[in-house]
A and B are shown apart, each in its own frame.
Chain A
Amino acid sequence: MLPSGVFFRDFAAEAAYLRTGPQRLALALFVLALVLLPALAGAYLVGVITLMFVTMIAVLGLQITVGMAGMINIGQSAFVGIGAFVSASLASKLGWPFWLTLPAAALAAGVSSLLFGLPALRIKGFYLALTTVAAQIVFPIGIARLPSAWFGGSSGLAVEPVSIFGHALLKQHELYYFNLAFVLLFALLAFNLKRTRVGRALIAVRDNDIAASVLGVNIGYYKLVAFFVGAVFAGVAGALLGYVVSYVTTDHFTLWLSIWYISMLIVGGMGSPLGAIFGTVVITALQESLHALGNAAAARFGSDFGAFIFPATNSVLGVLIIAILVFQPHGLLTGWNTLKAAYRIWPYRHHGG
């Protein structure tokens, strides 16, 4: 949505995401703020945000599978897990550096997602959700059953810190910048995907697969592409998570985590990568602040109060998600856009016919 009075001379200008001077300035300021943040915020906040970046990459991937291609995936955390284990294993067993483990993790997650995406060639809609639940259930069993020399079996794997030019990233703010770089990169990739032929093909397959196939879209291929790319993002997130947490076990990658990923997408809006980013920030912020609030309340009313207050925060978040589905079905982001639209036609209530 643009302010009125803005016209384009060419298609490049129109396709660009940042169309006006102020928009460009806003982005520049935003990135600058992100860069300066570790200097201003406490270590705790920086730690939380670092992990949020990782989550964000996974949710950006989910936005491609679920948002663009319309294939419900409630097993994203399994693919994050696969990425984490592959990267951890290559790093700890073969001593690969991160710039090799990361692509390997991405590829491994992507390829294994194809296994679960294959049924998509025939199955549609929510039925597909089930094969992704299957991924979630098979994943820990698979890791446990594979020779423990590969992925450490059920014991999991320790991950040495990332090292860049021989310098190990140990400090919180180093990890922060490391992950910030990746989140910026992957956000850019996701935005790019949406505005090009491939993104349109994904949406076409979601909106009307028969029409898409008759109009030249190889639907089987694009369904798999949606799964693949979504999982590649997950794989990268997994590898990064391993480096941040420095230990991976199957305990990390539960259905519950997948559910939160989906929730973030709902809250932000599934229509665009911006929604994924926004949703991740909102849910993380809410989780953290509700939790802090809960802790404060617990401090005041005694720690046993915690047994009540913490589940209460979950309920509050769940209710919030449902409220968003009901009142802002396309996510908070569209709410913002509607507001802008209303502002633009103010003082009139409606557009003309």
Chain B
Amino acid sequence: AALAISAPPVAAQSTYTFSVSVDFTGPFADIMPSWHAGQRAMFAYWNDTKGKELGIKADYKVYDMRYDAALVASSWPGILAKDKPIMHLGMGTPDLVSLGKRLPRDEVPMIMPTAMVGLMWAPNGWHFSFRPTYSQEFAALLAELQKNLPQKRALRIATVSTQGKPGYEDQVNGVVHLAKTYPDRFAMASFVWIEDNPVSATDRIRTALRDNPDVFIVGATTAQAVSTLKALKELGRRVPIITSSQNGLPFLVSVLDPADVEGSYSVFAFAPSVEATKAQEMFKKYHSGQGVWDLSASQAAAQTLLALRTLERAAKTAGKDKVSGSAMYQALLAGPVSSDDMLGLTPAIAFDKSRPFPIGQVQAKAITVKNKQIVPVGAGWLPSPELSKW
């Protein structure tokens, strides 16, 4: 899986290369056009503005990893040798599991665009995401929902997920941990385990409904979200479901009658694409080729921005022609990147060695369907309750 897609180099500049994992053939191929558009646009934006100013050209090489850990593992040595990247832009779990351990050795930091999973929550890594764990993102919305309950009681949570898929199971484990940590605010009502593509979830949802959950968390596949909503409709019950970014509301609204999705949520730690941000403006200005400004575009844009802001800082401390992988790593740990620098896509973020996601208060944003329209939930960032590692 070699070769690359790159912009033409410009002379008399320091040029640095970022390697980028994408997935045009694997399970996330469908969101790739917009995803990659987000990255392209941000590189173009930065090179046109900050890059020009600093005399630095940020180059990028794209590798189709098919979302396959073995492929990532086998490609990486070649990437290192050929591109000498100063930073890798990962795409998902395969990058994490294949590279997580060796990045410190290779002295190349990696920035992730996806939320973390508990299994990657360890100190001293060279990989960082601007998003916390999925469970913490859910927790931010759950806390908001709990606050708005008419009575003062624990929010009853049901989960729908797949057995035997590490990432999906971990989402559930994290929420269970949340309920254990705050028993007065959250309670686990029931667990629904179904296949990725269930024939019908009705039976199991019916059983789950006996425990009167206030929400269903469906963080795994789109098909599960569809099945859950269809089951609820069949059973004549209205319980909101909470999805994540990769199986979020925009698709559900397009497949199902928006009335059925009414009141459900997606939650994630970046600004939703329906919100007006500076990033959206820049995307419109620098966008080329396929793809539109949607959740995956904004997610990838945030990842790219974080990487480029780090380059800015590393160039300042190490000197414009002396940026290296470890300089990038140092720059990442050197203090917060402001929300403005992130073009409004995230709150201010800062890292330390203790964990692979931002330190301090975890915050997220959610969207919901109101009157058949997707709208943001609340105006600001939703704070997530403090959560220890599970």
Contact = CB atoms under 8 A, between A and B. Distances in A.
- In the complex, is A directly touching B at CB under 8 Å? yes
Contacts of A279: none
A335 interface: no
Interface string A230-270: 00000000000100111111111000000000000000000
- Dominant SS at the A interface? helix
A292 interface: yes
Interface in B1-27: 1-6, 22, 24-25
A290 B298 CA distance: 32
A36 interface: no
Nearest to B67: A251
B156 interface: no
24 contacts: A43-B78, A43-B81, A44-B75, A46-B77, A51-B74, A140-B164, A144-B164, A154-B173, A155-B118, A156-B97, A245-B69, A245-B70, A245-B97, A246-B73, A247-B69, A250-B164, A252-B69, A292-B2, A292-B3, A303-B36, A304-B289, A306-B25, A307-B24, A309-B24
Nearest to A303: B5
A299 B78 CA distance: 18
B76 interface: yes
B100 A291 contact: no
A154 B166 contact: yes
Q: Which of B5, B117, B118, B173 has the most CB of A within 10 A?
A: B5
Nearest to B80: A43
B64 A291 contact: yes
Interface of A: 42-48, 50-51, 140-141, 143-144, 152-156, 158-159, 170, 172, 241, 244-252, 288, 291-292, 294-296, 298-299, 302-304, 306-307, 309-311, 314
A310 B66 contact: yes
Q: How large is the interface on B (under 10, 10 to 19, 20 to 34, 35 or more residues)?
A: 35 or more
Given A299-B4, A304-B36, 16 more contacts: A43-B78, A43-B81, A44-B75, A44-B79, A44-B82, A47-B78, A144-B166, A155-B118, A158-B100, A241-B70, A249-B69, A250-B166, A251-B69, A291-B64, A306-B24, A311-B25
B118 A141 contact: no
Given A155-B117, A155-B170, A42 B101 contact: no
B163 A141 contact: yes
Contacts of B22: 303, 306
B165 interface: yes
Contacts of A244: 73
B94 interface: yes
Contacts of A154: 119, 164-167, 169-170, 173
B263 interface: no
B221 interface: no
Nearest to A48: B74
B119 A155 contact: yes
Nearest to A41: B78
A247 B2 CA distance: 22
Given A47-B76, A292-B3, A303-B5, A249 B97 contact: yes
B77 A172 contact: yes
B290 interface: yes
A170 B69 CA distance: 18
Contacts of B167: 154, 251
B166 A44 contact: no
B3 A296 contact: yes
A48 B73 CA distance: 9
Contacts of A304: 33, 36, 289-291
B32 interface: yes
A158 B102 CA distance: 11
Q: Which of A140, A294, A295 has the most CB of B within 10 A?
A: A295
